[in-house]
Chains A and B, each alone.
Chain A
Amino acid sequence: MADSVPLSGTLRRGLLRGLHRDARSIPASWLYLGVGATAIAVYFFLPATPQSLLYVAIGAVSVTAIFIGTRRNLARGRRLPWYLFGLGLLAQVAGDLVFAFYEISRGHEPPSPSLADLFYLLSLPPLGLGAFLVLRRVGSMASREGVLDTIVVFCGVGLMQWVFFIDPLRHTTFDSRWERIAQMAYPAASVLLLVAVAQLLVGATARVFAYQLLLLSLALWVGANEAYSLDVDQYRGGSWIDALWLSAYVVWGAAALDPSIRGLARRDRRGLPRLTRTRLGLLAAASLTAPAVLVIERISHHHVHAYAVGVGGAILGVLVLFRLAGLVNSVERARRSERVFRHEAQQAQQLLAYQNEQLLELDRLKDEFVSSISHELRTPLTSISGYVEVLLESETDDERRSHLSIVDRNAHRLLGLVSDLLFAARLQDGRLELERDEVDLTRVVSHAVESARPRAENGGVRLDTVLAAVPAVRGEPDRLAQLLDNLISNAIKFTPPGGDVTVRLTATDSTVSIEVSDTGIGVPEAERERLFERFFRSQTALERQIQGTGLGLHISKAIVEAHGGRIGVDSNEGAGTTFVVDLPVAG
Chain B
Amino acid sequence: MSGAGLTEPAAVARPVILCADDDPDILSLVSLRLERAGFEVVRVTDGDAALEVIRARRPAVSVLDVMMPRQTGYEVLAAVRGDEATRHLKVILLSARVQKSDIALGIAAGADAYLAKPFRSGELVALVRELIEAG
> Which residues of chain A are within 8 angstroms of B25 by Cβ–Cβ distance?
383, 387
Q: Which of A85-118 contact B (CB under 8 A)?
A: none
User: Is A542 part of the contact surface with B, judged by Cβ < 8 Å?
Assistant: no
Q: Would you call B26 and A386 a contact (CB within 8 A)?
A: yes
User: Is A401 part of the contact surface with B, judged by Cβ < 8 Å?
Assistant: no
User: Is A385 part of the contact surface with B, judged by Cβ < 8 Å?
Assistant: yes
Q: Would you call B121 and A375 a contact (CB within 8 A)?
A: no
Number of B residues, CB within 8 Å of A: 17
Rounded to whole Å, the gap between the CB of A520 and the closest CB of chain B is 32
CA A374 to CA B99, docked complex, whole Å: 10
Rounded to whole Å, the gap between the CB of B79 and the closest CB of chain A is 23
Q: Would you call A382 and B117 a contact (CB within 8 A)?
A: yes
Q: Would you call B96 and A378 a contact (CB within 8 A)?
A: yes
Which of A376, A387, A411 has a CB less than 8 Å from the CB of B29?
Answer: A387
Q: Would you call B99 and A382 a contact (CB within 8 A)?
A: no
CA A376 to CA B67, docked complex, whole Å: 11
Closest Cβ neighbor of A426 among chain B residues:
B99
Contact with B along A369-409 (1 / 0, CB 8 A): 00100111011011111110110010000000000000000
Q: Name, among B96, B99, B119, the residue most crowded by chain A CB atoms within 10 Å (CB to CB).
A: B96
CA A412 to CA B105, docked complex, whole Å: 26
> Which residues of chain B are within 8 angstroms of A133 by Cβ–Cβ distance?
none
Q: Would you call A386 and B29 a contact (CB within 8 A)?
A: yes
Query: Known contacts being A386-B121, A415-B118, is A379 close to B96, with CB within 8 Å?
Result: yes
Q: Would you call A422 and B99 a contact (CB within 8 A)?
A: yes
Number of A residues, CB within 8 Å of B: 21
Which of A376, A386, A393, A426 has a CB less than 8 Å from the CB of B118?
Answer: A386
Q: Name, among A390, A393, A419, the residue most crowded by chain B CB atoms within 10 Å (CB to CB).
A: A390
CA A393 to CA B26, docked complex, whole Å: 18
Query: Known contacts being A379-B23, A379-B26, is A389 close to B120, with CB within 8 Å?
Result: yes
Q: How many interface contacts (CB-CB < 8 Å) are there between A and B? A: 50
CA A384 to CA B26, docked complex, whole Å: 9
Contact with A along B83-117 (1 / 0, CB 8 A): 00000000000001111000000000000000001
Which of B26, B32, B96, B118 has a CB less than 8 Å from the CB of A390?
Answer: B32
User: Is B12 part of the contact surface with A, judged by Cβ < 8 Å?
Assistant: no
CA A96 to CA B64, docked complex, whole Å: 119
Closest Cβ neighbor of A377 among chain B residues:
B96
Interface of A is mostly: helix
> Which residues of chain B are within 8 angstroms of A381 by Cβ–Cβ distance?
117-118
Rounded to whole Å, the gap between the CB of A418 and the closest CB of chain B is 10
> Which residues of chain A are within 8 angstroms of B29 by Cβ–Cβ distance?
382-383, 386-387, 390
Rounded to whole Å, the gap between the CB of B63 and the closest CB of chain A is 13
Query: Known contacts being A383-B23, A383-B29, A393-B1, is A371 close to B99, with CB within 8 Å?
Result: yes
Query: Known contacts being A389-B120, A389-B121, A393-B1, is A382 close to B96, with CB within 8 Å?
Result: yes
Which of B97, B117, B120, B121 has a CB less than 8 Å from the CB of A371?
Answer: B97
Closest Cβ neighbor of B95 among chain A residues:
A375
Rounded to whole Å, the gap between the CB of A389 and the closest CB of chain B is 6
Which of A376, A378, A384 has a CB less than 8 Å from the CB of B98?
Answer: A378
> Which residues of chain A are within 8 angstroms of B121 by Cβ–Cβ distance?
386, 389-390
Q: Would you call A383 and B26 a contact (CB within 8 A)?
A: yes
CA A355 to CA B23, docked complex, whole Å: 40
CA A379 to CA B95, docked complex, whole Å: 9
Closest Cβ neighbor of A378 among chain B residues:
B96
Q: Which of B26-59 contact A (CB under 8 A)?
A: 26, 29, 32-33
CA A378 to CA B119, docked complex, whole Å: 10
Q: Would you call B120 and A378 a contact (CB within 8 A)?
A: no
Contact with A along B7-32 (1 / 0, CB 8 A): 00000000000000001011001001
Rounded to whole Å, the gap between the CB of A436 and the closest CB of chain B is 14
Closest Cβ neighbor of B24 among chain A residues:
A383
> Which residues of chain B are within 8 angstroms of A387 by Cβ–Cβ distance?
25, 29
Q: Would you call A382 and B32 a contact (CB within 8 A)?
A: no
Query: Known contacts being A374-B96, A389-B120, A415-B118, is A382 close to B26, with CB within 8 Å?
Result: yes
A selection of 5 A-B contacts at a CB cut-off of 8 Å is A378-B98, A379-B26, A383-B29, A386-B33, A411-B118
